[in-house]
Amino acid sequence: MLKFFSGIYDGNVSIRSVFLKQPSTIKDVAKLAQCGVATVSRVLNNTGPASAETRERVLDAVETLQFEFSEVGRSLQSNTTRTIGCVIPSLANPVYADAVQGVQETFHKAGYQTLLVCTNYDTEVETQAIRTLMAKQVDGFVLTVSDALSSQGLRSIQNREIPHCLLFNRAPADAQSWAVDDYSAALKVVDEFVSMGHVHLGFLALKFKTSDRARQRYKGFIEGCFTNKLERPALLEIAEDTENLDVLLTNFLRENPSITGIFASNDILALATIRSLRTLQLQVPKDISVVGFDGIRVGEMVEPSLATIATEPRMLGQGAAQTVLSFINDLPLPEQPDLTLSFSFRNGGSLAPHVAENLGDDDVTAFPT
């Protein structure tokens, strides 16, 4: 028996609802908690003031009476569903799983449920998923889209003025986002390669049409090579579900035999690249160095450990969720961290100095104009 109601039920509470297993009502809760129905509603909806003592009495009464507060009834009262749509491209990549954890934690504390949809980097699935969640009348969205500038689903959300915040995508002028400075992070990767003596580089990425993040990273990588007077990095685009990476990588290296450093657009792709290089009898980092992006924990557990751009996905998810809550409750938006502090370079065993043999002036090709 709960501590507050360890005594005997009196006549003010429906004895039938307690002992005959009839459904309790909000009035039963109010009587047992010795407060008004409006107070019970405020406590259960988390929409108004109530003292700690009153809140404890109400929650004790709810548990004692096994009262189930109807989400439908709550929706009718407040004109909300207390649900949030969360759209991400993949759960196979731990960076999104960590971000979703931050999203769910934040909304749960505020009394919201999160409806999660994974699009598998498919733009059509993305559009349909957003439409479905809109039909369910979610109160807001946290989402990572294929391309923030062209996403049909995002445009629909904006047209209906549904509270939303982008996650990982850099936001257009009329939107909010919690993201990483992909461009600057890629510049940092080039600097790390150059400091290790690498001058012939390659970039492996998910198909650009499915990831504006990969495009920004490639753009920064190109600019970094230009700034350091290196040749344009070779590019290999692949689909997330590619099963023949060994073949693609073999052809890529055959066409670009001078490459000594590869930057992969995410850590999962970087780890897959290291595995494929071993299959091809190439040693990392002796023959080719590899750098990833995201900073997933498993990258620190493999041998060699993965050099990568480390990010804070859980924090980004929390920030995006708090932004949506601020929109819903008409509160000031949370302060975002400086974009220049949104990432850091994490050294790893997959990046090592390149010792050039008979390096001459012809080994560094001028960046094409």
Give the relative orientation of helices 71-78 and 37-45 as an angle to the nearest 10 degrees: 100
Give the relative orientation of helices 313-328 and 94-109 as an angle to the nearest 10 degrees: 40
pLDDT of residue 356: 66
For residues 224 and 356, state if they share a domain. yes
6 within domain boundaries: no
Cis before 353 (ω within 30): no
Count of structural domains within the chain: 3
User: What distance in Å separates the CA atoms of residue 41 and residue 45, rounded to the nearest whole number?
Assistant: 6
Beta bridge partners of 344: 310
Left (φ > 0), alpha (ψ -120 to 50) or beta: where does 358 sit?
A: left
For residues 173 and 319, state if they share a domain. yes
For residues 37 and 95, state if they share a domain. no
74 within domain boundaries: no
2 within domain boundaries: no
4 within domain boundaries: no
- Residue 130's CB is within 10 A of a number of other CB atoms, namely 27
Tens-level pLDDT at each residue, the chain (369 residues): 344 444 334 444 444 444 445 677 888 888 999 998 888 887 887 666 788 888 889 888 888 888 876 544 554 455 689 999 999 999 889 999 999 999 999 999 999 999 999 999 999 999 999 999 999 999 999 999 999 999 999 999 999 999 999 999 998 877 899 999 999 999 999 999 999 999 999 999 988 888 999 999 999 999 999 999 999 999 999 886 677 889 999 999 999 999 999 999 999 999 999 999 999 999 999 999 999 999 999 999 999 999 999 999 999 999 999 999 999 999 999 998 888 889 999 999 999 999 765 344 444 433 333
Tell which of 26, 46, 69 closes a domain: 69
User: What distance in Å separates the CA atoms of residue 364 and residue 198, rounded to the nearest whole number?
Assistant: 10
For residues 216 and 356, state if they share a domain. yes
For residues 205 and 268, state if they share a domain. yes
User: What distance in Å separates the CA atoms of residue 313 and residue 296, rounded to the nearest whole number?
Assistant: 9
For residues 354 and 210, state if they share a domain. yes
Beta bridge partners of 116: 86
Q: What DSSP state is assigned to residue 342? A: S
For residues 223 and 355, state if they share a domain. yes
Tell which of 40, 69, 98 closes a domain: 69
**What are the pLDDT digits (tens) for 63-106?**
888 887 654 455 445 568 999 999 999 988 999 999 999 999 99
332 within domain boundaries: yes
For residues 45 and 94, state if they share a domain. no
368 within domain boundaries: no
Nearest to residue 214, comparing CAs of 268, 276, 279, 154?
268
Evaluated on CA atoms 110, 148, 248, 292, the torsion sign reads negative
User: What distance in Å separates the CA atoms of residue 191 and residue 95, rounded to the nearest whole number?
Assistant: 24
CB contact at 8 A, 179 and 99: no
pLDDT of residue 268: 93
Beta bridge partners of 234: 202
Q: Tell me whether strands 201-206 and 177-178 are parallel, antiparallel or unpaired.
A: unpaired
**What are the pLDDT digits (tens) for 234-273?**
999 988 667 788 999 999 999 999 999 999 999 999 999 9
243's enclosing H/E stretch is none
Tell which of 46, 69, 92 closes a domain: 69
CA angle 235, 340, 366 (to 5 degrees): 35
CATH code for position 20: 1.10.260.40
For residues 331 and 355, state if they share a domain. no
For residues 134 and 279, state if they share a domain. no
CB contact at 8 A, 167 and 88: yes
94 within domain boundaries: yes
What is the model's pTM?
0.76
CATH code for position 107: 3.40.50.2300
Domain hosting residue 53, numbered range: 15-69
For residues 235 and 359, state if they share a domain. yes
288 within domain boundaries: yes
Residue 246 neighbours by CB under 8 Å, 6+ apart? 276, 279, 280
In order, the DSSP letters of 101-157 are: HHHHHHHHHTT-EEEEEE-TT-HHHHHHHHHHHHHTT-SEEEE--S-TTT-HHHHHH
H-state helical runs in 169-312: 182-195, 212-227, 245-255, 267-279
Q: Tell me whether strands 307-310 and 344-346 are parallel, antiparallel or unpaired.
A: antiparallel
For residues 53 and 126, state if they share a domain. no
